[in-house]
Structure 1
Amino acid sequence: MTKRVKRVFFYSAVIVFLLLSYIVILYAQGYKYSFSEGKFKRTGAIALKVNTGSKVYLDDEFQGDTSFFSNSYSIDRLLPGTYKLSIQKDNYSSWQKTTAVEEGFVADFPNILLLPEEGEEEQKLFQEVGLLFKEVELSNRASLSAEILSELPTNIKSFRLSENKNKLVWWTNNEVWILWLSDQNYQPFYKKGDKELITRFAQPIQNVIWFRGEDQLILELESHDSKNRPYSVYKMMEIDKRGGLNIVEL
């Protein structure tokens, strides 16, 4: 082998080594190659926590089961883009969002709630909701300051403070609104004084209560049977509007 050939091999090996080192460094710093764009891009992640052990799907592909102890799960090294995230469990309601992943950021969903749809657990849920509506007091107005009351429109039907008094829900005949009474330090982030329309319903809203914390509501809606007789329909609704609103009829 001539010196010229040896020199070519040597410099080729150096170039390959430097190139591989560069790729390893980029990978270690959270970068990933995007074939669609033809360049390295910094990745993001999705984190979630569910109230019960569940299966996690991303773009309809199974990713894994939530952890045994905390029912949490994370999907790392995702290229920036939009993904369909779905949480499922047999005999429970499902949950899904269309979520945007950004470079260097984690899209966090820390309060996912799945509800049983059959059996003894479903009956316990009905009993829990029934007790909440019986126990709830409609006298929250007395505990609000004049400053907070001034934030409410005049056409509301009623309102309800969350248990820790960090949020206030109010509703009209067809709309549900939230007013944040303190900063929310988890995603989606809100500042004290922020208010937002969560959704509208075609059916008249009769009552609203907070459910298992400050991130879900139970709504009592009025419906009518074939003979136009009114009856109540109950729905659980999250207040996180990112990527679509999950509403489950009980």
Structure 2
Amino acid sequence: MENTMLKKESLISALLGIGLIISFLIIFYLARGYQFDFRKRQIEGTGILVVRSIPDGALIYLNDKKYGATNSSISALSPGRYTLKVEKQGYHHWQREIIIRKELVSEAEALLAPLFPELKPLTYTGVLNPIISPDRQRVLFTAPENGLSSLWLLDIVERPFNLASKPRQLLTDTKEYAYSQSTKQWSPDSREILLKLNTPSLQNKPQITAFTFNVDSKSLQKVGNLEKLEQEWQEETEALQEKNLQNLSQETIARLSTVTNPLWSPDRNAVVYKEITENQVFYKVLDLNPSTALNNQISPSTTPQSIHYKEYNTYQADKAKFTKLVWYPDSKHLIILEKESKEAEKGKLSLIEADGQNKNEFFSGTIKGDYVFPFSNGTKVAILTTFNPETKVYNLYSISLR
């Protein structure tokens, strides 16, 4: 009798143990995205998709099936290829193909371009020759003030409560020095401005007089040795360029050496360059980010030096027309300026992803020259424009992207 009771207790304990193990395995595999397929009568692995959008609150469609709003996740998706659409009223639709893999979380982020962006003035008295700083946070320009020309500075960063930045006056022309007529150059660290003026000497022969203006301390200093200063700034620029190459493979560095005038992205992980044929200009992006090169799947033992680049055919333009590409601050998108010629009054602006997908126009109208400056946080784009071209007075305006 006692043996029978012991056997029953042992059996119950064993069954409980097996039940606990099975429960643990079920929870473990469910957590990893596995589910039971009743049609196939087997357990299958699934994946998760996280969809974000700027701005948020857009609708998600996966293979034309609605899945709620962005900034959320969709779980228990069968592995395979899907068409993802993101839509929000007042914005261009966004779409791309994605691949869902079992036991993995896939991510997608849609930057939506507005259909009717808001346009606001940043300056009022007229702007000439705006120059953006290397850190893309300040614009230097010339403007009249009380009958005299002055140098002004505009911060193109978003301020709290969405307040607009106001231009700051730096220097006003004097009888001795016309600073507004100088050749202007930003320092590599964006803290100083070099001003070079042609001034007459005692023998009435032109000579160069140079000044540096410190933007932070608002101090003006005459340059004693211009050649030495320019050499120092050149060395600083070259040091920054060498720093960009530190974690790249030899193959990637060799590929970069064949590129003429590469335009580095703000995060220094990509460059855009152009190849010119008889009738076309091909804008291409070299993606130097190791995580991007392997779809964000890098094993812990993988070193950046062992991963090579990706290359995208981003945009194709007509050689006879004027086209300029500018990096958007997130380093994942570019802004395209298209005009019949650089001198033409009319132009249009579009957003495009670095791999060439989702090109959407967000502005069409008067754009002076090629002056297009994205705000450092991506909320706005500054352009030089006018609503009365006959006056030839142009001002900086912001185009709101959010």
Q: Same fold (TM over 0.5)?
A: yes
The reply to whether residue 65 of structure 1 matches residue 182 of structure 2 is: no
Q: Secondary structure at the match of 1:92?
A: coil
Letter in 2 for 1:211: Y
Q: Distance in 1 between matches of 2:353 and 2:88?
A: 18
**1:38-65 deviations in Å (ceiling 9; x for gaps):** 5321101111221112111111122112
Q: 1:189-200 residue pairs with structure 2 within 5 A?
A: 189=296, 194-200=309-315
**1:77-103 deviations in Å (ceiling 9; x for gaps):** 101111111111101111111111111
2:143 matched residue in structure 1: none
The 3 A distance-change label for structure 1 pair 62 and 93 is same
Q: Distance in 1 between matches of 2:294 and 2:358?
A: 16
2:53 matched residue in structure 1: 50
How much has 1:22 moved relative to structure 2?
10
Letter in 2 for 1:107: S
What TM-score, normalized by structure 1, do the two folds share?
A: 0.65
1:179 matched residue in structure 2: 286
Q: Distance in 2 between matches of 1:171 and 1:208?
A: 10
Q: Distance in 2 between matches of 1:230 and 1:48?
A: 39
Q: Secondary structure at the match of 2:330?
A: coil
1:4 matched residue in structure 2: none
1:248 matched residue in structure 2: 360
2:111 matched residue in structure 1: 113
- Contact 2:59–2:86 (8 Å) recurs in 1: yes
**1:137-164 deviations in Å (ceiling 9; x for gaps):** 799995434995872436x5x4311223
The reply to whether residue 170 of structure 1 matches residue 273 of structure 2 is: yes
Q: Distance in 2 between matches of 1:104 and 1:35?
A: 19
How much has 1:104 moved relative to structure 2?
1.0
1:75 matched residue in structure 2: 74
Q: Distance in 2 between matches of 1:82 and 1:37?
A: 20
Q: Distance in 2 between matches of 1:74 and 1:240?
A: 24
- Contact 1:108–1:187 (8 Å) recurs in 2: no
Instruction: Provide structure 1 residue ranges, at least 5 long, that are not aligned to the other structure.
Output: 1-13, 67-71, 128-132
- Contact 1:160–1:208 (8 Å) recurs in 2: no
**1:2-26 deviations in Å (ceiling 9; x for gaps):** xxxxxxxxxxxx9xxx8x9699555
Q: Secondary structure at the match of 1:62?
A: strand
- Contact 2:312–2:354 (8 Å) recurs in 1: no
Provide the aligned C-alpha RMSD in A: 4.0
1:161 matched residue in structure 2: 264
Q: Secondary structure at the match of 2:112?
A: coil
- Contact 1:93–1:115 (8 Å) recurs in 2: yes
Deviates more, 1:79-88 or 1:200-209: 200-209
How much has 1:195 moved relative to structure 2?
4.0
Identity score, percent: 22
Letter in 2 for 1:116: P
Letter in 1 for 2:53: V
Query: Which structure: larger Rg?
Result: 2
**1:111-148 deviations in Å (ceiling 9; x for gaps):** 4211211152xx36xx9xxxxx9637799995434995
Q: Distance in 1 between matches of 2:133 and 2:282?
A: 20
- Contact 1:95–1:246 (8 Å) recurs in 2: yes
1:217 aligned to which of 314, 334, 349:
334
What TM-score, normalized by structure 2, do the two folds share?
A: 0.43
How much has 1:235 moved relative to structure 2?
2.2
- Contact 2:34–2:103 (8 Å) recurs in 1: no
How much has 1:193 moved relative to structure 2?
5.1
Letter in 2 for 1:93: H
Letter in 2 for 1:249: E
Letter in 1 for 2:93: S
1:239 matched residue in structure 2: 354
Deviates more, 1:57-66 or 1:31-40: 31-40
Letter in 2 for 1:82: R
How much has 1:165 moved relative to structure 2?
2.2
- Contact 2:269–2:289 (8 Å) recurs in 1: yes
Q: Distance in 2 between matches of 1:218 and 1:119?
A: 15
Q: Distance in 1 between matches of 2:117 and 2:288?
A: 38
Q: Secondary structure at the match of 2:318?
A: coil
- Contact 1:188–1:240 (8 Å) recurs in 2: no
Alignment length, in residue pairs? 209
